[in-house]
Amino acid sequence: MAKSTGIKPEPKLLSGGNPQIAKGHGDAPVQAYIAAMPGWKRAMGGRLDTLIERAVPGVHKAVKWNSPFYGIEGEGWFLSFHCFTRYIKVAFFRGMSLDPVPPGESRSRDTRYLDIREDEPFDEAQFSAWVKQASQLPGERM
């Protein structure tokens, strides 16, 4: 029997550098996901999480399908994000109802995306406004 060192192994990074984190509800799995985000994405993940918490005090969090999800408990999910090789993709599940509509199109009629890249400016005020609006819309049940 192998002796435990007490050190947890580093999370595996899936294709595109997305952390593989066990699904779970609450802040802990989301913080584990953010801590495992590679390179510049880690700081940006923490920034996104902080902005979401400020815009929606008491936001409900979970990790599902290797992505952090944010929602209103009992109301469904309004946002998630996912790491890709060169960017972070934020999904607003009711993005077509936001003003202005986030720029990234989706195959889903209602979903819109925001791609965040290391070398491009990030508009915190616009992101926070979208988060606040999204939190007030009916959420996705997943």
Which pLDDT score is estimated for 16? 77
Going from N- to C-terminal start, the domains of the chain cover 15-135
Query: Amino acid identity of 85?
Result: T
Ranges of H-type helices in 16-119: 27-36, 40-55
Task: Please say if the pLDDT value at position 13 is more than 90.
Answer: no
What are the tens digits of pLDDT across the range 113-130? Answer: 999 999 999 999 999 999
Predicted pLDDT at 38: 94
pLDDT beyond 70 at 45:
yes
Q: What angle do CA 15, 69, 63 make, to 5 degrees?
A: 60
Q: Cβ neighbours of residue 140 under 8 Å, at least 6 residues apart? A: 71, 76, 77, 78, 93, 94
Q: Specify which residues 68 forms β-bridges with.
A: 63
Distant-in-sequence, close-in-space partners of 41: CB < 8 Å, separation ≥ 6: 17, 83, 88
pLDDT confidence of residue 81: 98
3-state secondary structure of 23: coil
pLDDT at 17: 80
Query: Which tokens in the block code for residue 116?
Result: 């965040």
pLDDT digits (tens, 9 = 90+) for 64-120: 999 999 999 999 999 999 999 999 999 999 999 999 999 999 999 999 999 999 999
Q: Count of CB atoms within 10 A of residue 18's CB?
A: 25
CATH number for the domain whose boundaries are 15-135: 3.90.1150.200
